[in-house]
Amino acid sequence: MYSPSYFMQQFINGLNLGSIYALVAIGLTMVYGILRLINFAHGDLMMWGAYLALALIANSFLPFGVAVLLPMLVIGLVGVLIERITYRPLRGAPEVAMLITSLGVSTLIQNSTIMTLTAQPQSFRLPPGFKQLYEVGGVNFSSLDILSFSLAILLMIGLTLFVRRTRLGIAMRASAENLRAAYLMGININQVIATAFAIGSGLAAVAGCLWAAQYNTVEPFMGFLPGLKAFVAAVIGGIGVIPGAVLGGFLLGFAEIFFVGFLPPAFSGYRDAFVFALLLMVLLIRPNGILGSSTEERA
Amino acid sequence: MLEIEDLHVSYGNIQAVRGISLRVEAGELVTIVGNNGAGKSTTLLTISGLLRPTAGCIFFEERNLAGASPDKIVSWGISHCPEGRMIFGRLTVAENLILGTYNRRDRVNIRQDLDRVHKLFPVLAERRNQAAGTLSGGEQQMLAIGRALMSRPRMLLLDEPSLGLSPLLVGRIFEIIRELHNQGVTILLVEQNAYQALRVADRAYVLETGKIRLTGPAVDLANNPQVRTAYLGG
């Protein structure tokens, strides 16, 4: 009843959604890995990234590529500032203090956006070329699909090289695994944490632009649900482990698209419920996520 | 080289270290022995800056360490091989060793130190690209010591290096400690295995409930009747 091309179509949609979840989940998992902080404000930086891109596209002749990369740099810096101002003073306080602070930061970002701009959704219009449709064997995809997927993959490759090849990257993985031992290595933890926030927030900004471009709209609360789902993705993949965030992101993207695409339309309203049910199932079977493992002491 | 004066450390209301004074000269191997909860690890963690003293001073070559950040203390030449090994299990053996050099600016000599560590622990060279978590307990301990040596420390803090190892490996680890000592590394060794620790050390301190009970040359303490009944099984 479903043709192969229909399946392929869903596959491409899943790939797109998955790469956005993965980009957002990376930042969440990096920060959680080191600070044990569920950063609720992460999704809101996604929103700010999208607004910034919107402003750049609307008021200039900048190509889309620049309009996405500039927010990445700016929002990366914003992430570092947020950490410096709000989370760092709470270092050493109970973890729940930081968690609540991040909820506060999230509320602050959303409401300051509403105050300075508007609560109304705004349309995110792209230059005409991006909605150019291609058809290959009955499967439709746009230049935007190709662009967003390849951009996401490029960024992930870059990140992988960074955490595998550079000292700071290795230190970052080490800090996520055992913060105490990382201190004893002489690693400057503040530097590592600032880097995690810079990279994570930058990737969230890119994800926000891609999200806005896919759905043609930006609004102040647009970051909340994808942020939450990206957290689910990070947990499914094994929180604290970067490849886990990527795997979890794609898995969740595919699962969500296939759920909507292959079940009777009556179910499609339950897609978010399905996402969280999936989380529960994975956690029942692998409590530490797919790639997460409890590091056991060996004798 | 290291001089601790009247050190007090607390966890909230619990006083773990109550007025310790001790001294380690350059080139010495000094051991702190004592039972669980005597304050041995707390003392080491305070030296390396992970814990802050409530009172007292820690001088390392004229510098006061109390309140300095751990990364500063490492860069001044103290390396801490912690209890429970704390190797990074998801990282490869080679990456673990590289992290030991995190604070060093003289990148050229790192190759030499890597060779030295590989010579000391050939198994680490063999398994260089393996995830450290897949090593056996003894190999992990060797990695932990090797990693601590990679910062080219002038002083090495060793916390319970023999914990959880088979008797054969315990012997091997103490051989290595003796070898490092012979190479001129200054070592402060914390051990529950008082028998082995007193055999390799020059001098020793016996710690009980956060205070120093006895101190003196390791040979004397090994023959002290009190020490024999309390720590060496009579």
Chain A contact for B216 (CB, 8 A cutoff): no
Query: Is the pLDDT at A127 greater than 90, yes or no?
Result: no
Q: What's residue B139's pLDDT?
A: 94
The percentage of chain B sitting over the pLDDT mark of 90, rounded to a whole number, equals 82
Residue A139 confidence (pLDDT): 84
Question: What average pLDDT is seen over chain A?
Answer: 90
Q: Return the exposure string of A55-74: e unless at least 16 CB atoms fall within 10 Å of the residue's CB, then b.
A: ebbeeeeeebeebbbbbbeb
Rounded to whole angstroms, the Cα distance separating A262 from A256 reads 10
Dihedral of CA atoms A268, A273, A278, A279 in degrees, nearest 10, equals 150
Render pLDDT for A163-200 as a digit per residue (tens, 0 to 9): 999 999 999 999 999 999 999 999 999 999 999 999 99
Query: Which band of pLDDT confidence, cut at 50, 70 and 90, is reported for residue A299?
Result: very low
Distance in angstroms (rounded) separating the CA atoms of residues B125 and B14: 43
Please give the ipTM for the structure prediction. 0.91
B218 phi and psi, to 5 degrees? -60, -35
SS3 of residue B233 by DSSP: coil
As a whole number of angstroms, the distance between CA A222 and CA B8 comes to 52
Say how many CA atoms lie within 13 Å of B18 toward its Cβ.
12
- State the smallest CA–CA distance between residue B46 and chain A in angstroms: 11
Q: Do B99 and A174 touch (CB under 8 A)?
A: yes
Residue B87: band (very low, low, confident or very high) from pLDDT cuts 50, 70, 90? very high
pLDDT of residue B84: 92
Q: What would the pLDDT profile of A232-267 be if each residue is shown by its tens digit?
A: 999 999 998 999 999 999 999 999 999 998 888 888
The whole-number pLDDT of residue A296 equals: 42
Question: What are B181-197's pLDDT values in tens digits?
Answer: 999 999 999 998 999 99
A83 DSSP 8-state letter: I
CA angle A240, A244, A248 (to 5 degrees): 120
Identify the weakest region by mean pLDDT among A76-80, A113-117, A274-278, B94-98: A274-278
B95–A contact, CB cutoff 8 A: yes
Whether residue A273 lies within 8 A of chain B, CB to CB, comes out as no
Region class of A137: left (phi > 0), else alpha (psi between -120 and 50), else beta: left
Distance CA B174, CA B198 (A): 11
At how many degrees (to 10) do helices A42-58 and A189-215 cross?
Answer: 60
Contact state of A295 with B82 under an 8 Å Cβ cutoff: no
Cα distances (Å, whole numbers) of residue A275 to A46, A88, A256, B155 = 20, 32, 7, 53
Domains observed in chain B: 2-85+153-231 (3.40.50.300)
- CB atoms under 10 Å from CB of A16, counted, come to 23
pLDDT for position B164: 86
Q: What percent of chain B has pLDDT over 70?
A: 100
Give the per-residue pLDDT at A176.
Answer: 92
The rounded distance, in Å, linking the Cα atoms of B59 and B63 is 5
Q: Residue B78 carries which side chain, given as an amino acid letter? A: I
Q: Is the pLDDT of residue B95 over 50?
A: yes
Res. A297 pLDDT band, cuts 50 70 90: very low
Q: How confident is the model over A130-168, as pLDDT tens digits?
A: 778 888 878 888 888 888 889 889 999 999 999 999 999
Report the distance separating Cα B89 and Cα B35, nearest Å: 29
**Residue to test with chain A: of B42, B44, B71, most A Cβ within 10 A:** B71
Q: Please report the DSSP string for B169-223 in residue order.
A: HHHHHHHHHHHHHHTT-EEEEEES-HHHHHHH-SEEEEEETTEEEEEEEHHHHHH
- Residue A1's pLDDT is what? 61
Return d(Cα A211, Cα B126) in angstroms, integer.
Answer: 47
- B101-120 pLDDT, tens digit per residue, is 998 878 778 999 999 999 99
Is A165 at the interface with chain B, CB within 8 A? no
pLDDT value at residue A298: 39
pLDDT average, residue stretch B40-53? 95
Residues in contact with B17: Cβ distance below 8 Å, sequence separation at least 6, in sequence order: B7, B8, B9, B39, B42, B43, B46, B53, B210
